[in-house]
């Protein structure tokens, strides 16, 4: 089968097209899927850039969708032809995240989905909404499930609450769409006037240019009528932490997701206790969360925002496009 | 001032028009309100019917709205002319319900709101949405806050979840409106074809005639695609308990509110544990819940459903109308 | 191998000694255990009495302990010789109870543990505390995990809280021991003066004769200093429900576990809402809860209370002894 | 009456003895207390050092105990002679912390307790355990309630869990005592061999010299058998944050309390999400938490650890002693 692998090399030159043997026939609980599309996350850029340190090549990308091509003898949940996506952590089925789940992340410790065929246990696959294209389905596993987890598992969002989202990447746009579906009001930040207009079109009540307004946390708080943000979807990390804290109400929740500004940085820990905040680390989510997320997508007919679809052979261009930051929503690769 | 009192008498003959002295000037934290409207709850029928056992007369009704007429010297939250409603339990400000709050319920242990003037501490009043009439405002304190508590405090509703509501009384209709605002899907029961049509118009996904279908719990479950109800707003009490249990998913929540079918009855307790259900007693709510509820009403421009407004002098007719069960939504009395 | 099976017959005559083929060699994830002891629960009496309705024989009992005799090629968590017990629901690993877990209960829908050999996937086995005998280990899966779930998963017990336990069966005694370990104070009911003395010796602060005091709920409340019980471990079911409600504080939790007084009965639903109670259905627990329970047992060196151990050939006598109600703690069968 | 005030001056020279008028007779809900003891917290050192910036003098210290000297006409909860302590935030009665509570902190925005008489509303006072001296009672309001909040409100501690405490200040020692009462095991850090020995005597399972072992987070994790800490009581702040994160299990809780190492600093935010941690800001607690804490103290006969008691006239020496870091437990001032 055709696939990509990460090889030790500079930058995205690490992403290399290869030929691999097809997976064998599924064992009793196995499900083999013919992948049709995959989507890129910020994490994938970091993996590709860090590929020099890898010992052996790995198939990249965690997020993909396709149709079931073969099922094992004991499989009950799927049949050939079903349209599915894989879970980011294939062994995190329910409950809380454990250390052992980290040893089984697609496109990291395990081979990912940028290949014609992927074989995983039936418990690792989730059925796609009927109306979705494979390109749309491929956007869900990481960005979508993360947004769900941030709003409804790490926090308990109520109608009339205010949600803060940052920028226009995949997690932030899903969070905007889901918060709207849950009856919350959304404050969004972006440095691009064009993107702010699009965020407003998607339902953001207020948008803020964080570059022009370095004290954007106070502006976000003011935009709630002074009460403060109830749930902040923090994708920036340490670099945006303090402004996000300013935006939050007393007792508000920060769903801490991102590392866009780095993995370590100076943070005002005193304000966390002064305002009695709850900072909850969010790392994608379980298969059970994925299924709840899909139920909400279907009930609300939410359309994932796909920015651009690249053909399989232009995979490297897709990486470069995401790295440019020009995107609004998800960057997808079609697997023909 | 003009008011009504409950006197020992048969049926609604207990509800008697009286003249009472105006309240005195407010103490430092007092707020005196010129009431403009009050609404009736099922509880008020029971209080009037049971008035024979009362020792001394009490002004009935818990739910009323009006405008601030005078404020004490230390009052900071309101000024003359503000439009407000009173909290059902004026001393239950935050946190959980305590026994001592029960000793302070309007229209029960304390004088209620069916009078020209009501004086309460400033902490017991809640500001109304600007766009609301007093008639609409008077519907919120008991029915509305109960619905809020049932869906968002006793449970944790997520978009895509299924909610069960029973009939077309005040709590059920508010619960339907709030569940829709929160992105949930609603299954509603009613024995009247006309009311079912109106429930669907308000957003119910499926309605069920519980008289024709005594096994309506199974139908409600089927209407969710077989998964079961996530949160049931149980206003019937013991008489509907077992069917509600059938409708619920494993791990689902029953917000137990009502006594429409009586205060005691035969219940299948085994099914509660078999399905790992959570049955949460819900008795109106705190001032803090009331304020969160109002924020949601404003954000979603929810219009309370007022069935009929009676003039002050026809108060007894209002009681009889509610007792007839012909209403859809709230029955209101105007206090001119 | 030697085993017992339930056959269609009157009463405990349904429990019959049989010879069965040994289980085959384990598949990749299988673990075969040489059982050494099993314990009886109230549920097992009901299963045996209802065996007339069964289509095909089943090996009874859910609770057993033994040592690992063989492991599959992919097994990582156990090795031959490890001392283990099986989970009541072998497929309920984590998260909430689902309907599908009910289709996989030992000694019910699946063959149970009253046999020389039992084969289950490695995820269904839990390691025993080192210091435990097999007889002690066999008491944990149903009674012990249920008590853990009732106190620490369905509720959130704090030091200084009050817990109500009923009688001296397995669940109640484990709940007493665990509540003491968590720094709570325990009120226990029993109609036997001898058993009350033993409950006090195990740490109960107050014991109540529920036969002499039919209003024992009020007495239990009084024994807390009037504040009320924080968490009640309700093993009686509908027949004790109303008194338990009386014992609880406003906002208290009833962990509803039992059917000792029947599966259906008259209940005062109004008091549930009047006191804003939380009634949580508790049906044993997950493998994850079992493991947390074992950690607490080890940390506190809690000794399970074994009332009597019967040899394998006297299994029927063990059933009869449990049915007599004379026991204090668990009734165990040794599997030589 | 005799009192101390903070005046604009260098260091602890800001703490000055003054004569103030006695408080007036209590209003209807007022309770006047003759203070008998007060205790110092780290916050008080910061307040005294920062007194140069204050506009008008304030009576310092939040933590004090005494006996009721006079009650207002409407007071029901206390009578003259009752032994009480004041709540740190006198208006935070229940529910979550709000911004407005911060404007009412004793010894900060409000006059504190280092005076012969203190007048507060009855709702701000909490009854002391009968067996406590005033010196012991004075240790509870800030350090004790904070420890309670950190373990049982911000987290949900279970028997067998592991708790991390840092050093031997008031919060850490109360947390150690409460964690033991709740059946948890405690890992404690201290750079003094003598203090480590005393921490072990109080029940710590393992103690670690954090100065000799800069990677003490890993050691703490190892001391749990590798599973990790369930609840960490973080009094250090940003300077200890990363090691605390290392000590925690996946999904563990950090109760973020302290600023001993500063209010801002470099933190590894990525690890918070990698391990799905919950970081909860904890700032003392409500009157309701205080009362629950006292119930636990009484049930477990916990003795507060008082390091040294200074006479009223040596108040400045008490400040200096706390600042020296030589203490183990609380530093108290007697108010004769």
Please report the pLDDT score of residue C292 as a whole number.
98
| Alpha-carbon distances of A200 from A181, A185, A330, rounded to whole Å | 15, 11, 18
> Mean pLDDT, to the nearest integer, of D191-198?
97
> Using one digit for the tens of pLDDT, what is the confidence trace for C207-216?
999 999 999 9
**Percentage, residues of chain D above pLDDT 70:** 100
Q: How confident is the model at residue D55 (pLDDT cuts 50, 70, 90)?
A: confident
> Using one digit for the tens of pLDDT, what is the confidence trace for B108-164?
999 999 999 999 999 999 999 999 999 999 999 999 999 999 999 999 999 999 999
Distance CA C82, CA A316 (A): 51
CB atoms within 10 A of CB C21: 7
Cα C317 off chain centre by = 20
Of C98, C272, C281, the CB nearest to B277: C281
> Using one digit for the tens of pLDDT, what is the confidence trace for C133-182?
999 999 999 999 999 999 999 999 999 999 999 999 999 999 999 999 99
Q: What value, to the nearest 5°, has the Cα angle with vertex A231 and ends A225 and A234?
A: 115
Q: The tokens of D319 are what?
A: 């400040």
Q: Would you give the DSSP letter of residue C267?
A: E
Distance from CA of A96 to the nearest CA of C (A): 8
User: Measured between CB atoms, does A292 come within 8 Å of chain B?
Assistant: yes
| Alpha-carbon distances of D202 from C54, D186, D318, rounded to whole Å | 58, 10, 24
Quick check: D163 and D186 in contact, CB under 8 A? yes
Distance CA D292, CA C159 (A): 9
Q: Cβ separation of A251 and D277 shorter than 8 Å? A: no
User: Measured between CB atoms, does D295 come within 8 Å of chain C?
Assistant: yes
Residue B55, judged by CB atoms within 10 A of its CB (0-12, 13-18, 19+), counts as exposed
Share the mean pLDDT of chain B: 96
Distance CA C12, CA B328 (A): 57
Please report the pLDDT score of residue C53 as a whole number.
83
Distance CA D152, CA D240 (A): 22
Interface test with A, best of C72, C77, C94, C122 (most A CBs within 10 A): C94
Interface test with C, best of A30, A73, A94, A103 (most C CBs within 10 A): A94
Distance CA D64, CA D125 (A): 10
Please report the pLDDT score of residue A261 as a whole number.
87
Share the mean pLDDT of chain A: 96
Distance from CA of D94 to the nearest CA of B (A): 6
Query: For the CA atoms of C4, C9, C10, C15, what is the dihedral angle to 10 degrees?
Result: 0
Q: How confident is the model at residue A259 (pLDDT cuts 50, 70, 90)?
A: confident
3-state helix, strand, coil in chain B (%, to 5): 35, 25, 40
Q: What value, to the nearest 5°, has the Cα angle with vertex B270 and ends B269 and B271?
A: 90
Report whether pLDDT(C336) > 90: no
Of A9-13, A152-156, C118-122, D196-200, the least confident: A9-13
Q: The tokens of D64 are what?
A: 């004090």
**Helices of type H across B237-283:** 238-247, 269-274
β-pair partners for D35: D66
| Alpha-carbon distances of B54 from B8, B50, B108, B306, rounded to whole Å | 7, 8, 10, 31
Chain A residues whose beta carbon lies within 8 Å of the beta carbon of residue C95: 93-95, 288
Chain A residues whose beta carbon lies within 8 Å of the beta carbon of residue B298: 160
Quick check: B230 and C96 in contact, CB under 8 A? no
Share the mean pLDDT of chain D: 96
User: Measured between CB atoms, does B226 come within 8 Å of chain A?
Assistant: no
Report whether pLDDT(D53) > 90: no
CB atoms within 10 A of CB A180: 20
Q: The tokens of A246 are what?
A: 């300013």
Distance CA D229, CA D249 (A): 5
Residue of A nearest to C96 (CA): A95
> Mean pLDDT, to the nearest integer, of B77-99?
97
> Using one digit for the tens of pLDDT, what is the confidence trace for A104-126?
999 999 999 999 999 999 999 99
Distance CA B145, CA B289 (A): 7
Q: How confident is the model at residue B52 (pLDDT cuts 50, 70, 90)?
A: confident
Distance CA C335, CA B239 (A): 48
The DSSP annotation for A10-36 comes to SGGGGEEEEE-PPP----TTEEEEEEE
> Using one digit for the tens of pLDDT, what is the confidence trace for A186-223?
999 999 999 999 999 999 999 999 999 999 999 999 99
Q: What value, to the nearest 5°, has the Cα angle with vertex C279 and ends C277 and C282?
A: 155
Q: Cβ separation of C183 and D292 shorter than 8 Å? A: no
Q: Cβ separation of D160 and C185 shorter than 8 Å? A: no
Taking Cα atoms as reference points, which of C186, C182, C203 lies closest to residue C295? C182
Chain C residues whose beta carbon lies within 8 Å of the beta carbon of residue D156: 156
Q: How confident is the model at residue B55 (pLDDT cuts 50, 70, 90)?
A: confident
Residue A80's φ and ψ, nearest 5 degrees, are -55, 135
Element (H, E) at A16: strand A15-19
Q: The tokens of B236 are what?
A: 């019937």
HSE on the CB side for D329, CA within 13 Å? Answer: 17
Distance from CA of B156 to the nearest CA of A (A): 6
Q: The tokens of D204 are what?
A: 């710590």
Chain C residues whose beta carbon lies within 8 Å of the beta carbon of residue B102: 274
Interface test with B, best of D30, D77, D94 (most B CBs within 10 A): D94
Report whether pLDDT(B262) > 90: no
Of A241, A276, A282, the CB nearest to D281: A276
Distance CA C129, CA A26 (A): 39
CB atoms within 10 A of CB D80: 12
| Alpha-carbon distances of C161 from C30, C182, D145, D172, rounded to whole Å | 43, 9, 17, 22
Q: Cβ separation of A277 and D281 shorter than 8 Å? A: yes
Q: Cβ separation of C267 and B269 shorter than 8 Å? A: yes
Q: How confident is the model at residue B176 (pLDDT cuts 50, 70, 90)?
A: very high
User: Measured between CB atoms, does C95 come within 8 Å of chain D?
Assistant: no
Pairing of strands B30-39, B330-334: antiparallel
Interface test with B, best of A144, A153, A155, A159 (most B CBs within 10 A): A159
Distance CA B69, CA B119 (A): 10
Distance CA B69, CA B86 (A): 14
* Chains linked to D by 3 or more Cβ pairs within 8 Å: A, B, C
Report whether pLDDT(C261) > 90: no
The DSSP annotation for D89-141 comes to STT--SSS--HHHHTT-BTTTB--S-BSEEEEEGGGEEEPPTT--HHHHTTII
Q: The tokens of D208 are what?
A: 């670690």
Quick check: D220 and D245 in contact, CB under 8 A? no
Interface test with C, best of B150, B156, B232, B273 (most C CBs within 10 A): B273
Sign of CA dihedral B153, B157, B163, B167: positive
User: Measured between CB atoms, does B121 come within 8 Å of chain D?
Assistant: no
Chain B residues whose beta carbon lies within 8 Å of the beta carbon of residue D96: 94
Q: The tokens of B7 are what?
A: 């006197």
Distance from CA of C172 to the nearest CA of D (A): 17
Q: Cβ separation of A160 and B185 shorter than 8 Å? A: no
Q: Tokens 């492991």: give the residue.
A: C71
Taking Cα atoms as reference points, which of C255, C259, C219 lies closest to residue C239? C259
Distance CA D159, CA C300 (A): 8
Assembly ipTM: 0.96
Quick check: D331 and D310 in contact, CB under 8 A? yes
User: Measured between CB atoms, does B2 come within 8 Å of chain C?
Assistant: no
Pairing of strands D265-267, A265-267: antiparallel
Please report the pLDDT score of residue C259 as a whole number.
87
Report whether pLDDT(B260) > 90: no
Q: Cβ separation of D279 and A272 shorter than 8 Å? A: yes
Quick check: D38 and D63 in contact, CB under 8 A? yes
């Amino acid at each position: 089968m055709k696939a990509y692998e990460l090889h030790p090399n500079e930058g995205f030159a690490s992403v290399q097209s290869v030929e691999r043997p097809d997976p064998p026939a599924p064992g009793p609980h196995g499900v083999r899927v013919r992948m049709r599309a995959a989507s890129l996350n910020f994490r994938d850029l970091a993996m590709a850039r860090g590929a020099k340190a890898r010992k052996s090549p790995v198939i990249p990308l965690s997020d993909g969708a396709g149709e079931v091509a073969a099922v094992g003898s004991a499989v009950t949940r799927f049949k050939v032809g079903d349209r599915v996506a894989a879970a980011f952590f294939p062994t995190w089925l329910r409950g809380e995240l454990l250390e052992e789940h980290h040893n089984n992340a697609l496109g990291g410790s395990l081979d990912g989905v940028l290949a014609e065929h992927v074989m995983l246990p039936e418990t690792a696959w989730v059925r796609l909404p009927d109306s979705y294209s494979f390109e749309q389905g491929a956007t869900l596993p990481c960005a979508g499930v993360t947004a769900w987890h941030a709003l409804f598992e790490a926090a308990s969002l109520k109608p009339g609450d205010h949600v803060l989202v940052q920028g226009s990447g995949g997690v932030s746009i899903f969070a905007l769409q889901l918060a709207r579906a849950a009856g919350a009001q959304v404050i969004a930040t972006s440095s691009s006037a064009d993107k702010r207009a699009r965020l407003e079109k998607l339902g953001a009540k207020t948008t803020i240019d964080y570059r022009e307004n370095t004290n954007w946390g106070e502006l976000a708080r003011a935009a709630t009528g002074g009460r403060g943000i109830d749930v902040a979807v923090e994708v920036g990390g340490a670099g945006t932490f303090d402004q996000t804290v300013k935006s939050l109400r007393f007792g508000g929740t920060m769903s801490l997701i991102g590392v866009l500004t780095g993995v370590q940085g100076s943070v005002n820990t005193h304000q966390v206790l002064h305002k009695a905040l709850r900072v909850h680390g969010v790392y994608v989510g379980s298969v059970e969360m994925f299924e709840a997320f899909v139920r909400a997508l279907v009930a609300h007919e939410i359309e994932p925002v796909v920015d651009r679809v690249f053909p399989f052979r232009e995979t490297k261009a897709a990486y470069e496009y995401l790295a440019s930051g020009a995107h609004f929503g998800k960057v997808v690769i079609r697997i023909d």
